[in-house]
Each structure stands twice: as structure tokens, then as C-alpha cells.
Structure 1
């Protein structure tokens, strides 16, 4: 019984099924006898000849599938996120199954035509035993294949006639790369079939590494840069759409016509006919003075959410060309539209506006609704306009909506009277160069915060400055009455005044009680009058007086008993020929306290230095204090 059994095991060698693992893309054939190799090659040749016709049909389909595979791999290499890779693999899985089914069906039909002869032949011969081998080595983002044996073999089993043949047909047999031993062979799965068999993270990671092989190393710096680029792309998609001619420029961008310093855009003196395109929307200060701009593009300024300061001075803007231009601006605080061709105050001023300068225009009308939209205005300047022209006046209370107004400039207009019912918050009022002849008591309805009042270069007389003229200006500190028609020092001035300018009037004399109601006075200007006489001790009633200017008058001697606390006294350009002994130094007996005078100007007078009384300077700190020439 033993010889038959021995013969049986000799011819019926166990059939090892040739199987490739799902996660493996390299198959190495090892431990195969020479006789087995020759037998396998004969069977393959016979089968390839029998299926020659079927291969021609399948070649077209495989070419199409291969093109799709290559395109899919290209797209796959550009994607870096894992969920995109999974999506691609899922598509490849479905297509891989389809291809396998088509190939299997065609091969099965050919097998049926060949008949049972092939089946018997395969049953009589041993089937090749395959070793599954993979080795994945990752070095700096690259993939290397090595023929290291996994020491895993399929258990011996009796295979059917067509199972090993089908498996070999679905695989392209190629030589191992140059790194592998020349005696080994590599069976590579089609990409679709391999994608269909991916089941673990190892193969997924291998394919991902292969897609970026030889391109860019995946380092933390590269990943951080990729994330930043993706974030910027997402932010740009979320940005609101802007006009095509005004793209969103980066912070460092600057129009060719301008010069930029941080967020300050300087476009002045460039002969521009319009606001240049391309000014960054994040600009804070935009300077466009001294150009030829005659209009502002509609809805342009509303795009600049960060703009705080806009200068359009010395251009050619008119009322119609700027109508609605300032509406919608969100951060504008300072607006300069000086020296243009405006005839009225814009009515679409932003609520955020704090300073408005419209000097040097042709404005003659101030409507009640002009400032209703900007109650936070602090500074308003309308000098060198035509307000008050043709006997028209500013309507009473037109400025009352400006409850926070601090500075109002109406200089060099044609006003015949001071505007009435001004805001009580007003601290500085400039009315120089008008036609004002008198001040009315209802200039303020209540106690005002006014500290500075400039009425210079007007037509004021002593009669126009009555008792009630500055009744409510109880906080006034500086009063400028230069260049009027006053014949004497005004009475009934607020006692809080520290600076009083009476230069350029018609005053001819100073009485003893002229300044008795001004105990806080520090600076007094009486230059360019017609003063010939000053009462004895007229300035002694001013305990805080520091500066006195009486130049360009008709004085014949230095006033007597000047305050010892005086710092500077100017008497230049008079007709002085004598300096009394008690002019600078006076006191009980012959002893006089030291004077605080630092400088005394006596230039351009008629003083004879050879006949000076030296005792007149006994309390001074040196002769260098007095300037004779």
C-alpha cells in the first residue's frame, strides 16, 4: 500500500493558492522550482494565445480606465487633507469593482470555450506558491519599496482549475525595480483593483505618501504655510463684494499718483482731475489738496470705513458735484473743503464729524438743517465766505443743534452783527474782519463757556459795547478789540479778562480808573492809538500785569508809577524826551524796591542821553534792561 501512496503524493502536490493581500502592492515569488516555473510559463502562453481575441477588446477599455486612473492620481496628489483622499479612494473602489467584474466575465467565457481539457491539465499540475511581501519605508516624506519577506504564506489548499489563472490575468507581471534582486518578479495590481481592496490605514497612508513623492517635504513650516494660505482664501471669499474698479488692496499698496506713509495717503499737488483709483480702503488720512478735482465719485467715500481725516482744500468742487458724497462714511472726523466753489453748507455731513473747515468758498446761506446730522461737531470754520451779503444775516438759533461746539470761526465775512442764540458750549468765537458795529445782549441765552472772543477789524464803537454786551460771557479770558473805532477804554468788561488788546483804535488818553474793573489782567495792548496822556498810577490798579505795549502813540514821557511787578514795557515810536524819576522806581522815601522789569523798549524817541537822570533807573537790575536804540 505504501508505493501507491508515495506515487500519489508525488503527483498530487498540495496546491498553494496565489493570493495577494489587500494592503500589499508588491508580490515576490520565491522558493519555486525550475520545473514549476517552466510549467507556469507554458500554461500562460497557451492561455494568452487562446484569449488573443478577447485581449484586443479589453485593451481599449483598459486604456480608457488607465487614463482615468492617471487623471485621478494627478488630482489626488494635489489634495492634502485626509477626507479628500478618502473620497477619491471611495470612487476608485467602486470603479475597481466594475473593472474586475468585466475582466472576470470575459475570461470566464473564454474558459468555457476552451473546455474541460484545460481544467484537467491544471488539476494535474501543481499551482505556484506565492509569498506575499511588502515593506514600506518612509524617509522625509518619500516611499521606498524593499523585497523584505513578510514570512507569510497561504495555507496549502486544493485550487480549482481556473482560480489561479484568473488571478494571474488580473495582475501585470513586471520586473522588480533596480533596488531589488534581479531574480525576483513584481506583480502589480491595477490601480482600480488596488483601490477597491484598500481596507486599512497602512495602504491609505502609503498611497498618500506616494502622491507627494519627490515634490515637497512635509514639514511643520510647510503645513503652517498651507493652513495660512487656505485661511486667507476663505477670508477673501467672505469679504463683501466691492466695485471692480476698486479692488481690496493690501496695506502696503499705494496708487502711482500718490505717496503713502503707513495709513497716510498723500496725493496733494499732483494736478489730479479726480480722486485716484486704488487708494487702500484701510487708509486713515487722505490728503488731496491743491489739485483740480471737480467732483467726487458717487458712493466712493462710503467704502473707506477707517478714514478719519479727508482734505480736499484748493480744488474746484461745487455744490452739485459733492451732493451725497459724504453720506455713509462711518469714521470721518475731520473734513477740510477749503478754497473751493461751494455756495452752501453740505447737508449730508456724517454723524461722526468733529471738525469742518469750509473757509474760502462762496457760502452765503446757512440753513436751519445744515448741522442737524452732526450734533457732535466741535470745530466749525467758515471764514472768507459771503455770509451776511446783501443785508442777510445768520438766522437766530441756527447753530443750536451743535450742542458740543467749542470753536466757531466766522472771520472775514460780511456780517453786520454777531449771530444770536449761539450754543452755550462755545469756548472760542472768531469774528475778525466783518462789519459788526455793536454787540447785543442776547448773543447767548444763558451763561456761556466762552473764553476767547475776537472782534478785531470791525466797526465797533464805545456805544456799541453797552453794559449788557458781554453780560453772559462771565468766563471770558481773552478779548481782542484791535482795529475798531473805540475812543476810550471800554467799561463794563468781564472781570475775568486776562488779555485785552485795544491796539489800532482812536484812544487818546488813559484815565485813572480805566482798568479798575480788571484785576485779572496780565497782558495789555495799547499800541497804535493816539494816546498823549496817562494818569498818574493808572496801571497800579493791575496787580497781575506782566506785559504792557504802548508803542506807536504820541507820548511825551514815560508813564509814572508803572507797576513794580511788570516784566516787559514797550514805548518805542513815541515822542518821549523825558523819563520821570518815579517812572520805574517809586516807593517811600529814597528807598525803592527792586523792579521786576526785564526789558524796557525806548527805541525811536526823542531822549537826550546826556541829560538823563540816573536815579530814574536805580531799582533796575542793570542798564542792559533799557533799550534806547
Structure 2
């Protein structure tokens, strides 16, 4: 009997690797193996089990109980359903990262382990979430719920439904059905991704308590200037993406903490001198794909930190005047530019103008190169490049 017990336990020793897998150190790699179940014999001392892109439909609830050291479990792109994973993760004491994206799940598991720090459930069939789902894992750090059906109905994503996740750092809700930025978000959240929803407005108090927010992606929504009025009040915001909305002018009262601002693919027609005057830390500015035909002289002049300016695919008839001295790349392709003002690149104290590496893109415009006054580029020295047709 003793020999029989040894034989039965043999496949789970630390130096064994299931035939369908590849093992190295404490990692068992069984992804892309076309298996229909978790391979038998994965050592109990394994720290990472990778089972991505298989045909796994389920497993017995106590399968992972003996994996006391497992920290990462990847079950992405399988055929798992709610019933198939019920009770499977509650007794895994060291599990930190659980990937369930690309399955057939309709609900967030309610038996998540207290040790969990990252949960991925993108590309499932989630229609609603409840506060009870997070009661067992208050230390969750990263939560990804993109490409689901959240927001489809008033009770789908209730206000403050994530408020118990006091340590949440990153939240992705890309490509759902949300019509407004959720209220009652965790106070320590730093990155919020809401791309590809149906958001028409950001309520004034949406970010009032999220003082740590640094990255906000609201691209590919239905935002208008009225829908953004007085709402972008996150005082530490560094990166703001508003690409692909319905903005007709640059939003007012943008946070002065911004270093990156993307306004591409909107309906902005002109740039006023005051539009960016408060953004002294701005390094990257995207304005491509709008309807901009007019830029006030000196509109970018005071952006001392600006390195890259993209104005491609607009309706500009001339290069904007008094571009900032710290600029490294200015992209102006596919406009209707006919002239380059003498003070576009070289203005004021010329010894200080555009001294760094400057790359100017003027392809696909209406400029006749022979008619450009060479003095327009008199301050471009060293490694500067001017690209034209």
C-alpha cells in the first residue's frame, strides 16, 4: 500500500513536468497546447501556471487547493463559464495574479482570494457587477474589465461599486456600454481607462475624491464641450486622452499638471492664444485630424516644455507662428499650407530659438519650395531636418 501511495503522488513532485507542458524553474507553461483540461501532474510547488489559449471548460473546485505557493494563474482564452470556476480560487493562499480574460463568464467570481492583486476579466460577457464581489480581495491593485457589456442598464455599474478597493491603482473599463464616468471611484486610483464607451458627459464630482489620478483615457466616446464643463479637476493628472470625441474647441480649465494631451480626431476649428496658456508642463500635444484652419500667433509660444506637436490632417494655410523653443518635432503634413511666416521657427532672441534637434514635417501641402524664404529657417542649425514634398 505504501508503494501504491508513492506511485500515485509521483507526478506532482517538483522535478516532474506534464507531457503537454514546458517547465522551467517554478513556471509551468501549458499555453497553446489545445488541451481540454488542466494537465495532470503539475508540481504542487509551482508558482506560475500558464494555460492560455486552450479548450478548458472547467475543473473540479478543489483542483488548486494544494498549490500553496502559486502566485500567477493564467486561464485566458479558454471556454470557462461561471459554474465551471465556482469555488476554484478561494483556498489558494498566495495567488496574486489571476487572468480570466477571453472566456464565457457572466459574473465576477465572489470567492476571490484575499491575496489577489491583479484580476483580468476582459473579453467576457459581464453585464453587471456588485460590491459583494470584492469583499474578499480588498488589496486588489489592478482590475481589467474591458470588452464586456457593463453599463447596459441602470444597475449594471452602480455608483461606488468599487469603493471598497481602497488600494486600486489601475482600472480598465475600455469598450463597454458606459454613458458616464462612474462615481465613487477608489480614492487612490492612478490610471483610469474608459476608451470606446458611450460617455457623453463627465459629471463635476467624478474626480473630486480621486486626487491621485495621473492617467485618464476617454478616447472614442461621445463627449462634447458641454459634457466636459468644469469636470476635469484631477489636480495630479499628467496624461489625458480625448481623441475621437465631438469637441469643437479646446476644453477649458485643463489641469496645469498635464504633460501629455491628445485631442486628435475631434471637430476643433481654431486655436486661441489662451487655450494652452496654463499648461506649462506639457510635453506632447496631439491635434491631428481636426478642422483647424486658424492658430492665433503665439498660441504655443509659452509651452516651454513642449517636445512634440502634431497638427497633421487639418486645414492650416500657414505654419503657426512663434513655435516654442523646446520643440523637437512638429508635424504639419496633409494641410493646406502655402506659406511659412518668418517668425514661425525663428523669433525673439534667435540665439535661443529651436536650438535642439528639430524635425519639421511639411509633406502633402501646397507649398512651392522655390518660393520659401530661406530666412524662415535661419535659426535651424546642426541636426535640424525639414521634410517637404
TM-score range, shorter chain: over 0.9
Post-superposition CA distance 1:6-44 (Å, at most 9, x none): xxxxxxxxxxxxxxxxxxxxxxxxxxxxxxxxxxxxxxx
* Cα distance change on mapping 1:245 and 1:277 into 2, 3 Å: farther
CA contact (8 A) 1:397 1:422 kept: yes
- 1:255 pairs with one of 3, 13, 18: 18
Post-superposition CA distance 1:297-316 (Å, at most 9, x none): 22011110111111001100
- 2:354 pairs with one of 588, 595, 598: 595
Q: Following the alignment from structure 2 to structure 1, what is the Cα–Cα distance between the partners of residues 271 and 301? A: 13
* Cα distance change on mapping 1:447 and 1:264 into 2, 3 Å: closer
Deviation at 1:547, TM superposition (A): 1.1
Note if 1:555 corresponds to 2:311. Answer: no
Q: Following the alignment from structure 2 to structure 1, what is the Cα–Cα distance between the partners of residues 218 and 9? A: 48
Note if 1:505 corresponds to 2:266. Answer: yes
Q: Which has the higher helix share?
A: 1
Match of 2:365 in 1: 605
CA contact (8 A) 2:358 2:383 kept: no
Note if 1:487 corresponds to 2:248. Answer: yes
Larger radius of gyration: 1
Note if 1:515 corresponds to 2:276. Answer: yes
Deviation at 1:445, TM superposition (A): 5.2
5+ residue gaps, structure 2: none
Deviation at 1:615, TM superposition (A): 0.5
Superposed counterparts of 1:61-100, under 5 Å: none
Deviation at 1:263, TM superposition (A): 1.1
CA contact (8 A) 1:246 1:277 kept: no
| TM-score, normalised via structure 2 length | 0.95
Match of 1:421 in 2: 184
Post-superposition CA distance 1:59-99 (Å, at most 9, x none): xxxxxxxxxxxxxxxxxxxxxxxxxxxxxxxxxxxxxxxxx
Note if 1:354 corresponds to 2:354. Answer: no
CA contact (8 A) 1:573 1:604 kept: yes
Post-superposition CA distance 1:560-600 (Å, at most 9, x none): 11112211111011111111111101126xx5544235211
CA contact (8 A) 1:586 1:592 kept: no
- 1:294 pairs with one of 53, 57, 64: 57
Match of 1:569 in 2: 330
* Cα distance change on mapping 1:396 and 1:594 into 2, 3 Å: closer
Match of 1:282 in 2: 45
Post-superposition CA distance 1:381-440 (Å, at most 9, x none): 000001012454411111111110000000000101111101111000000000000111
Match of 2:83 in 1: 320
Deviation at 1:371, TM superposition (A): 0.6
Count of residues in correspondence between the two structures: 386
CA contact (8 A) 1:329 1:350 kept: yes
Q: Following the alignment from structure 1 to structure 2, what is the Cα–Cα distance between the partners of residues 349 and 542? A: 47
Superposed counterparts of 1:103-118, under 5 Å: none
Deviation at 1:249, TM superposition (A): 3.0
Q: Following the alignment from structure 2 to structure 1, what is the Cα–Cα distance between the partners of residues 6 and 252? A: 65
Q: Following the alignment from structure 1 to structure 2, what is the Cα–Cα distance between the partners of residues 338 and 289? A: 9
Post-superposition CA distance 1:146-180 (Å, at most 9, x none): xxxxxxxxxxxxxxxxxxxxxxxxxxxxxxxxxxx
- 1:266 pairs with one of 29, 32, 36: 29
5+ residue gaps, structure 1: 1-235
Q: Following the alignment from structure 1 to structure 2, what is the Cα–Cα distance between the partners of residues 327 and 346? A: 10
CA contact (8 A) 1:424 1:445 kept: no
Equivalent position SS for 2:65: helix
Post-superposition CA distance 1:338-396 (Å, at most 9, x none): 10000010000000000000000000110120111001100000000010124544111
Q: Following the alignment from structure 2 to structure 1, what is the Cα–Cα distance between the partners of residues 353 and 301? A: 16
Moved more, 288-297 or 436-445: 436-445
* Cα distance change on mapping 1:547 and 1:245 into 2, 3 Å: same
Q: Following the alignment from structure 2 to structure 1, what is the Cα–Cα distance between the partners of residues 351 and 130? A: 63
Match of 1:527 in 2: 288
Question: C-alpha root-mean-square deviation of aligned residues, in Å?
Answer: 1.9
CA contact (8 A) 1:416 1:435 kept: yes
Q: Following the alignment from structure 1 to structure 2, what is the Cα–Cα distance between the partners of residues 622 and 265? A: 54
Post-superposition CA distance 1:485-540 (Å, at most 9, x none): 00000001111111110000000000111112212211111000000000011111
Post-superposition CA distance 1:219-243 (Å, at most 9, x none): xxxxxxxxxxxxxxxxx99xxxx99
Superposed counterparts of 1:140-539, under 5 Å: 247=10, 249-444=12-207, 446-467=209-230, 469-471=231-233, 473-539=234-300
Match of 1:626 in 2: 386
CA contact (8 A) 1:476 1:497 kept: yes
* Cα distance change on mapping 1:419 and 1:302 into 2, 3 Å: same
Q: Following the alignment from structure 1 to structure 2, what is the Cα–Cα distance between the partners of residues 565 and 329? A: 53
